[in-house]
Structures are given as structure tokens and as C-alpha cells.
Structure 1
Amino acid sequence: MFDTMTSTKVLGAVCGSLLVFLLGNWAADGLYSMEGGHGGEETQAYVIPVEGAATEATAEAGPSFDEVYASADAAAGEKVFAKCKACHKLDGADATGPHLNGVVGRAKASSAGFGYSDALVAMAAESWEPAKLDAFLTSPKGYAPGTKMSFAGLPKVEDRANVIKYLSTLQ
């Protein structure tokens, strides 16, 4: 059934197919390589601007939190607080998150009956001063690694200052 000539043709076909596959792979790597082809240096082809994304340069160039907080608007903060209402209440009852009435100046992790994360319990000796609330609202997971708060944060310093000013009016 299989003689020497047929076996040679089958072996030749397999080797030829492998050769075509390897050459195709080599050509594709050359065309679509992600490695820098100019001395190993990689350059970004273009930048896509994202609305609302803060860069280090714009963050440093802007006013400080204290300056913004001095002129913050509690009414505007009430509008921004709408993002917080899903988890936080202002009537003294805890929800997914602890209640926030009287939070400005209150000790951290001090709402009785709420199960705080270990990160915030470790900070219980400190109080929520406006600057510390600003740092927390910028990036909750960056301020208190391991926090249960899943909110990403408020990127605009004006929004943070307005919310904190609004919260300071609620005692």
C-alpha cells in the first residue's frame, strides 16, 4: 500500500507545510512586532485625549485644595453628593456605607454598628478633617488600601471641595 515513493511524498508535504508555516510566522513577526525596531527604542504613535483625565502637569498647575475649599459652594456640593447617595445616607442610618451627617471633624471609623475595613479601623485615632477627606475622595483605595469602598473617586478638586463643604453643613 505505502511504498517508498508515497512515504517520501508525504514526508516532503509535511516538511513543506512546516516550512511555509515558519516563513509565514517570521513574516508576520516582522510586520506586526510590538518591539521597537529602531535600536530598541519605543515611541508612542499618537495620544488620545480623554475628557476629565488629569495629568500630573495639570494637577500641579492647579490651585491647592485649601484655596478651592475656601471658596467652595455647598449647594454645588449637594448636587455632586448625588453620586454618593447610592451608598451613604444623611439621616443617621447606615446603608451600604456609613452615614455621613457630621462626618467632617468626626473620628474615622466611628459610626457605631458599621463594619469598617481594617484599613480605616487602623486610622480610628484620626479625624476626618477636610484635607484628609479630600485625599480619601481623590482615591479611596489609594488613601486606605483594602477599603471596602468601591467608588473610584472624584477627579476634580472643585467637586471634592464642594462635597466636603456640603457635608460640613450637615451636623
Structure 2
Amino acid sequence: MLDTMTFTKVLGGFCGALLIFLLGKWAAEGLYHVGGGHGDEAQAYAIEVADAGDSAGGAEEVDFATLMASADLAKGEKVFGKCRACHKLEDGANATGPFLYGVVGRAIDAVDGFAYSGALEQVGDAWTPENLSHFLENPRAAAPGTAMSFAGLSSAEDRANLIAYLDATDD
């Protein structure tokens, strides 16, 4: 039969182990939170905003073809600096991401030797400038489940400059 002191030690050891487990779980959730909070969680309150299409004149929004026609390659090269950590421009030089040489107009998931996540099929059949712009604006929204961890480029001008730069590098 267990005496009181032994029982107290066993119970104390169990409670201590449980406390360490719960603190470890709390710390891990803080460090490795999955979900991002972009549409995964309900908002506390909704903020109503006017639709951009309802604004007078609609002068703020320029169509993508106009942006591409006036794209600046030097600015596109600067924007590519955000991509450089995972992508290379040399033909056949895969890194964390597939090489981007000749990407404009290339079929999606067409790089031999690179294991795509499969989510890119939702974007389209080929990397047209429009498909690239849509994907680069918010990769996780355009291809849910993509392995690409890039947050996206919110500026339409930056996307147009980058796409024009990528298109010019394969000439």
C-alpha cells in the first residue's frame, strides 16, 4: 500500500509533467502558428467600404494591358530582388522554387526536375502576364495549398514591372 508521501510525489510528478507539456504546447503554437489569419478566421466585426467600381470616374484603376505597356524594366529588376532568394533566372537552374527563365508564356508546372505542389493548376494552363499578375498579387489566394510562402505584391505597377522584366530576360 502507498503511503501519503509516495502518493504526493507521484501526483506532483504527474502535475509537473502536465505543466511542462502544456507550456511546450503553448510555446509551439506561438512559434509555429498555421493559418495566417487571411480569411481563415472570422473577424470580430465587419467594416463596410464602398466598392471601387462605384467610385466616381473610376480613375484610380488602370487596366493591366496599359500597365504592361508602360512597365519599367529597371523597376522590375528591383522588384525581382524579392524573388531572388527562391528563384533563379538562369535556364534550368532550379532553387527552392523553379527557375524563371522563359516563365512568361510557359506552361504552368512545366519545369522538368521540379516537384510542384499541385495547387498551381487552379491558376490556369500557362503563365500569361494576366495569370502571373493574379498569382503574384496573392499566391495563397490564387492557388490555395501552394508551397510558395511569398506574401504577394499588392502593387499592380510592381507586378507589371516584374512581369515585363521576366519577359525581357529570356530574349
TM-score interval, normalised by the smaller of the two chains: 0.5 to 0.7
Q: Does 1:103 align with 2:98?
A: no
Q: Is the 8 A contact 1:108 1:123 kept in 2?
A: no
Tell me which residue corresponds to 1:50.
Answer: none
Q: Is the 8 A contact 1:110 1:124 kept in 2?
A: no
Q: Distance in 2 between matches of 1:150 and 1:89?
A: 16
Runs of 4+ in structure 1 over 3 Å off: 55-61, 122-125
When Rg is computed on C-alpha atoms for both structures, the one with the higher figure is 1
* C-alpha RMSD of the superposition: 2.6
1:57-89, CA deviations, whole angstroms, 9 ceiling, x for partnerless residues? Answer: 399632121211111011110011001000000
Q: Distance in 2 between matches of 1:136 and 1:150?
A: 12
TM-score, L = length of structure 1: 0.63
Alignment of 1:13-162 (within 5 A): 57=52, 61-92=60-91, 93-120=93-120, 122=121, 126-162=125-161
Q: Partner of 1:83: helix, strand, or coil?
A: coil
Letter in 1 for 2:81: A
Letter in 2 for 1:72: A
Q: Is the 8 A contact 1:107 1:124 kept in 2?
A: no
Q: Distance in 2 between matches of 1:109 and 1:57?
A: 34
Q: Could you tell me which runs of 5 or more consecutive residues in structure 1 were left unpaired when the two chains were aligned.
A: 1-41, 45-54
Letter in 2 for 1:79: K
Q: Is the 8 A contact 2:123 2:143 kept in 1?
A: no
Q: Could you tell me which runs of 5 or more consecutive residues in structure 2 were left unpaired when the two chains were aligned.
A: 1-44
Letter in 2 for 1:76: K
